[in-house]
Chain A
Amino acid sequence: MGELLLIFVSAMLVNNFTLVLFLGLCPFMGVSGKVGTALRMGGANVFVLTITSLVASFLNTFVLVHAPYLRLISFIVVIASLVQIVEMTIKKLSPALFRELGIFLPLITTNCAILGLAIFQTNRGYGLLEGLFFALGAGAGLTLALVLMASIRERIELADVPSVARNMGLVLIVAGSLSLAFMGFAGLFSS
């Protein structure tokens, strides 16, 4: 259990997907304008990450031991089609949830955090349960980064910023500061 908790905290804080590993930057830049949207995006991410982790474990155990060179292609195809199926299922079963997540689900498919999770999980040789905790930690980390960023950007909206910095430049500098803060977690486990 301690091992699993370690994987969770490590994926969430020490190796935060967005701020330390630079995965999933597109949603981080794109939908971090409002806290509510950021939370929903984070939720959708946790959902897809969990499914991806399960699928990647399955593929690694049953398919890719025979054909490792197909890893990348099979991951991306299976993830893309699975997200499509999940989207259609949600649309049918719960239109309210679909409206909440709707726009974000297809966007997530081409989000590098998802494929990155599958590849990291394979490289590190995680099993089913470890992969699941890894995915939950990564999702929590993504959500945390998104919400932090959205809260800061809501404040920036009201601030008197020079006209030059009204584009993504300032957002990247703020992201750098957040990343610097997350570097502080690097010493969490070594001592």
Chain B
Amino acid sequence: MSPRATTPSQDFFRGVWRENPVLVQLLGLCPALAVTNTVANSLAMGIATFFVMLGSSILVSTLKRFIPGEVRISAYILIIATFVTIADMVLAAVVPEIHKALGAFIALIVVNCMILGRQESFASKRPVGRAALDAIGTGTGFMIALLLMGGVREVLGNGTFLGVPLFGDAFEPWIVMILPPGGFFTLGLLLLGLAWWEERKTEPVHPRSWPHGVTDQVRTGATFGAASSGFGVPDSAGPGSTGPEVGHG
């Protein structure tokens, strides 16, 4: 019946890291970039999204037998919008200054494609418990990504973490990090770092330490050979890559 059987722990952990909505799937980028200029804002946004995600996943999964296929997207959006309205009102009542800082982006949780995507691809096909687990996992993954961005941007751009000064007076804050370009730069560098990490993980493992009997002579010879073949690659790739440029000129 189900497309692919998964265990409960897989349902939970998939969203946290392996299929992290922001860092891997690039969903929900608008809030991830727009409100992460301080850790407090990121945290509030993360919690609000988590709540909406969990509530709508449970409700969609509960009502899946009663929602006709033709109007399912509209029904999901209605359910999500209801929870967002609740979150909006609660935030306005409990933390008015953060609600003001987040502005329209609380309301814009409705069009966060991450939430709609999970309803369409998971909650509408699975039992309530699994849907809730998946929502908690994905919500946690979203929050991790937001806090990562918020941490980097607040520490570098303001020299503080959650408002607590970290560096002495001599620290000159990188103002650009809390401005809009800083959001693009931070996420871009995070993605580059993750790609580099993935690539390094998939590289064949080289022996780090030499066995006891290997002499210095053999070792330098081996490393020299590896180095020269390493240098050889860019040389041979050079003409091919510069070719189109020359053609254009």
Contact = CB atoms under 8 A, between A and B. Distances in A.
Interface of A: 19-26, 29, 69, 72-73, 76-77, 80-81, 110-112, 114-116, 119-120, 123, 158, 160, 163-165, 167-173, 175-177, 179-180, 183
Contact of A80 (B30, B74, B192): B74
B244 A176 contact: no
Given A115-B107, A115-B110, A169-B192, A25 B185 contact: no
Contacts of B181: 176-177, 179-180, 183
A72 B183 CA distance: 26
B195 A76 contact: no
A26 B113 contact: yes
Given A22-B30, A69-B85, A172-B187, A76 B77 contact: yes
B116 interface: yes
B88 A72 contact: yes
Interface residues of B, number: 45
Nearest to A24: B30
A21 B30 CA distance: 9
Contacts of B113: 26, 110
B62 interface: no
A23 B107 contact: no
B34 interface: yes
11 contacts: A22-B30, A29-B26, A29-B29, A72-B85, A110-B116, A158-B244, A171-B188, A173-B185, A175-B188, A176-B184, A183-B179
Interface of B: 26, 29-30, 33-34, 73-74, 77-78, 81-82, 84-85, 88-89, 104, 107-108, 110-113, 116, 176, 179-185, 187-192, 195-196, 199, 237, 241-242, 244-245
A167 B178 CA distance: 24
Given A72-B84, A73-B78, 8 more contacts: A21-B34, A22-B29, A22-B30, A22-B183, A29-B26, A160-B241, A165-B195, A179-B181
B101 to A, nearest CB: 14
B114 to A, nearest CB: 11
Contacts of A20: 180
B100 to A, nearest CB: 11
